[in-house]
Amino acid sequence: MIRLVAAEWLKLRTLKSFWICAGTALVLTPAAAALSGLLAAGVFQTVIIVLAAVVPGSEYASGTIRTTFLATPRRTAVMAAKALVVTVVAAVLGAVCLMLAYVVVTPADVHYGTVVGRSAVDIGYCVLVALFAFAVTLAVKHTASAVSLALSAVLLVRLVLMVVSMMLGADPSTAFWNL
């Protein structure tokens, strides 16, 4: 399994789209936080959906998934290794980007534990979104379709949760989906 994870990490980091997504996340997440408050997680989730869809989608698009399955016939092990790489990349990139965003928008008098606790929730949410986008890509086997489906689903869920919370009288500006 360690060799599979190492191979998947090598495949991911040799993609230009990985570096473009990572750079975009590092620039746009703090910029969005500076311009519009705490909407950084929303911007980051969009980038992480694209990144998570690229992992299996690039292999399906180029046809190299057949070579991968010939080298390792256990498909579940290959997909588990890909999912582990997506999880780690989403968590690490999320930690860096969201901490940069919180440094930009958080006042100096806020306690460190508050920022870390909020970041942990946001990072966990982004990891779940990344795994969802990964699963959608495995189902449709096409990167662009997976990105549009996953992004639509995530945004629709956020919208429904916001409407329900407003119907119940809660303040939607303090909810986790309005980050």
pLDDT tens for 112-153 read 556 666 677 778 888 899 999 999 998 998 888 888 888 888
pLDDT value at residue 179: 46
Q: What would the mean pLDDT of 18-46 be, rounded to a whole number?
A: 79
pLDDT value at residue 87: 93
Over 90: is that where the pLDDT of 84 sits?
A: yes
DSSP 74: -
Distance CA 54, CA 120 (A): 24
Distance CA 28, CA 7 (A): 29
pTM: 0.79
pLDDT value at residue 151: 86
Residue 15 tokens, joined: 């993609």
Determine the residue type at 102. Y
